[in-house]
A and B are shown apart, each in its own frame.
Chain A
Amino acid sequence: MPRVIYIKCPECDREFYVGREFFEIDEAYCHCPFCHREFNPQQAVVRIKFANVG
C-alpha cells in the first residue's frame, strides 16, 4: 500500500490525502479539511494517485 492515499470527501467532493494508517486501523476516521465532515475512509471514493510518495 502506498504511504499516502488521495481520497475524496463524500460531502463536498474535494480531494485531500491521508496516511495509509487510515486503511489499516478499523476505528480510524477522516476529517475533511474543507467542509469538516467526518467519514469512514473505506466508504469514501478512494483514488491512489501515486505510490510510495508521502
Chain B
Amino acid sequence: MPQETELKDLHYFLSQYEETCPDDVIHIEREISGRHQVTALATQLEREKRFPILVFHNVVNDWGRSQYPLVTFIMSSRRRLAGLMDTTIEKVGQEFCRRIQQGIKPVVIARSKAPVKEVIETGDEVDLTAFPALVHHEMDPGPYLTAGFLTCYDPDTGVVNSAVHRGWIKGKNEIRVYISPPTHNFNILKKHEARGEDMRVAYWMGHHPLAILGCEAHATGGHFEAAGGAMGEPMRLVPSETLGDDFLVPADAEVVIEGIIPCGQRRPEGPFGEYTRYSGPQRWHPFIKVTAITRRQEPYWHDVMVGHTHWLASFQTEVGAFETIKKSVPSLLDVYAPMSGAGQFHLYLKIKKTTDGQSRTALLAALNTHLLIKHAFVFDDDVNIFDEKEVLLALATRFQGDRDLMVIKDCLGPSLDPSAEEAVGTKVGFDCTKPAPPTRFPQRLRVPPEVMEKVKLEDFVRQEQLLKVPYEPYG
C-alpha cells in the first residue's frame, strides 16, 4: 500500500480525497495500453463532462508492463480544485491569487527524512522505461512525461526556476525536452551556454495538487514559495543526489529525475500534441542525460492529459490577469480563462462599469498580462462569464465590430499557436459592455420575478413525463 504522511503530498491528497469523495476516484485494474488507450478513455470521459481522478494500476507501454500506478485527470476538475481551496468554481482564480500572494518560504530537510529519497538509483541503475509514461496522441513519437517541473538555477543570480516542460522519454537515461524561447528556463539555458557550461536540471513530478498549481504560478516570491502559499504550509526541499547540495528539489515529490543538459547540444524532439489541441512540429531542442532517479518505494506516475481539459495553466493566467487588471480597473469582478480558448488564449472579464473607458482599460491590461492571452473579452456584471451562451449572447448584442474591437498587431504571443508566425501574433480585445450610465441600453428579457417564483414546472409537468422528453444537446 502507498505510504501516507501528514504533510501535503500526492499520497496524502489521494487517500484523503478518496475517503471524502469516493465516487470521484476511479481505480482501473484492468490492463490498458499506454499507447493512446488511456487518452481514448480520458477523451470519452471529457465528452461526458466528467473528470474523476483516474488511477491505472496495470499500464502496458512501449517497454512493457509498469509496476507503478499512473494517475491522471487530477487537475482536470475546476470543481475539485475549488473545493481544495474551500471556494467556488467562479471564485477559485481569485482565491488562488490570494494564496500565492501570501507565499510561504520553503524549508530544507535532511535526505533521511525525504520520502522522495526512499529509493535512489544512479549510473546503470537509472531506468526511465520502468515508469508508465504515455503516448498520448497519434503523432507523438514516444512516451512523454507531461507533469514534470523542470527545475534549474540561474547562474548569475542563483534564483531557482521550476516550470512544467514536456519531455520525451527516449530511453533508459535520456529525455528530449522542449524549452520554448520565451520561457525563463530557456533564458537560463542560454546563460549557461554563453558560459560554455552544461546545465544542471531536475524534473520533479507528483505532489499535492495545490503545490503543483502554486509552483506553476508566476509569483514574485518564487515558485516554491508560491507553492507553499497555495498549500498553506512550506514546501519541503532536499539536496539533490548528483547535482550538488546547493541544488534543491521537492522532498515530498513522487519522483525526481536529475541530470544535465549538455552545452550546445540538440536532438529532435516532437511532434507532440499540445495544449492548443494541435500537434506541434518536431523541434531541434536540448536533451537531458539523466544522472539519477530518486523516488518513493511505490510512486504514482502523475500524468497531465495535455490537449484536454486541465486547469493548470488557466489558473496561472487568471491569477496574473486578476492582479494586473484590478490595479487599473478596481471594479473588476471576475476573470475566467475558458477551455474553449485552450485554457490560455482567451480571457473573459466581468466588470461593474461605472464610467466609459473602463472596459477598454481592462482589455489593454488583460492583453498585456501574459503573452499567451490572444483575445480578451470584457462583459458587464449581469453576464455570467462562466456560461459561454451568455458570453456569446453579449458578443452578439452589445458589440459592434467597427466600434468595440481593439486590434494590436505584431505582439509576442504563444509559440505554439498554429495560426501565428513565429511567436509573433495579433492581440485582440472585444468590448462587449453596454455604455456606462447615465446612457440607457435596452432591457434584457425577463419574466417578472414574482411570476417566476409562483409558477413551478413540477406543478404543471410530472417529473416522469419530463424525463421522457428528448434532451436537446444544442438547445
Q: Is the interface of B mostly helix, strand, loop or mixed?
A: loop
Query: Are A33 and B421 in contact (CB-based, < 8 A)?
Result: no
| A31-B422 in contact given A16-B139, A22-B282 (Cβ < 8 Å) | no
- Chain B residue numbers with a CB within 8 Å of A29 are 268
Most chain B beta carbons < 10 A, residue from A4, A19, A28: A19
Query: Are A54 and B266 in contact (CB-based, < 8 A)?
Result: no
- Chain A residue numbers with a CB within 8 Å of B416 are 54
Query: C-beta contact mask, A21-54 vs B, less than 8 Å → 1, else 0?
Result: 1100100111111001010000000000000111
- Chain B residue numbers with a CB within 8 Å of A22 are 282, 284
How many Å lie between the Cα of A29 and that of B417 in the bound state?
A: 24
How many Å lie between the Cα of A4 and that of B139 in the bound state?
A: 15
| A31-B282 in contact given A16-B139, A36-B141 (Cβ < 8 Å) | yes
| A54-B268 in contact given A4-B281, A28-B284, A31-B282 (Cβ < 8 Å) | no
Contact of A18 among B282, B418, B419, B422 (CB under 8 A): B282
CB within 8 Å of A: which B127-156 residues: 139-142
| A33-B141 in contact given A17-B271, A53-B418, A54-B421 (Cβ < 8 Å) | yes
Query: Are B282 and A19 in contact (CB-based, < 8 A)?
Result: yes
How many Å lie between the Cα of A28 and that of B284 in the bound state?
A: 7
Query: Are B283 and A54 in contact (CB-based, < 8 A)?
Result: no
Q: How many residues of A are counted as interface, with CB atoms below 8 angstroms from the partner's CB atoms?
A: 20
Q: A42 → chain B, closest Cβ, in Å?
A: 14
CB within 8 Å of A: which B265-306 residues: 266-268, 270-271, 280-284
Q: A16 → chain B, closest Cβ, in Å?
A: 6
- Nearest opposing residue in chain A for B170, CB measure: A31
- Chain B residue numbers with a CB within 8 Å of A17 are 271, 281-282
Query: Are B284 and A31 in contact (CB-based, < 8 A)?
Result: no
- Nearest opposing residue in chain A for B135, CB measure: A33
B420 at the A interface (CB under 8 A)? yes
- Nearest opposing residue in chain A for B139, CB measure: A33
How many Å lie between the Cα of A54 and that of B274 in the bound state?
A: 12
- Chain B residue numbers with a CB within 8 Å of A32 are 141
- Nearest opposing residue in chain B for A36, CB measure: B141
- Chain B residue numbers with a CB within 8 Å of A18 are 268, 281-283
- Nearest opposing residue in chain B for A29, CB measure: B268
- Chain B residue numbers with a CB within 8 Å of A16 are 139, 271, 282
Q: A11 → chain B, closest Cβ, in Å?
A: 14
| A21-B141 in contact given A31-B268, A33-B271, A54-B422 (Cβ < 8 Å) | no
- Chain A residue numbers with a CB within 8 Å of B418 are 53-54
- Chain B residue numbers with a CB within 8 Å of A3 are 421-422
Query: Are A21 and B284 in contact (CB-based, < 8 A)?
Result: yes
Chain B positions within 8 Å of A, measured between CB atoms, are 139-142, 266-268, 270-271, 280-284, 415-422
15 contacting pairs across A/B (C-beta < 8 A): A16-B282, A17-B281, A18-B283, A19-B283, A21-B284, A22-B284, A28-B268, A29-B268, A30-B268, A31-B267, A31-B268, A32-B141, A33-B271, A53-B418, A54-B415
* Given A18-B283, A52-B421, A54-B280, 4 more pairs with CB closer than 8 A: A17-B282, A19-B283, A30-B282, A31-B268
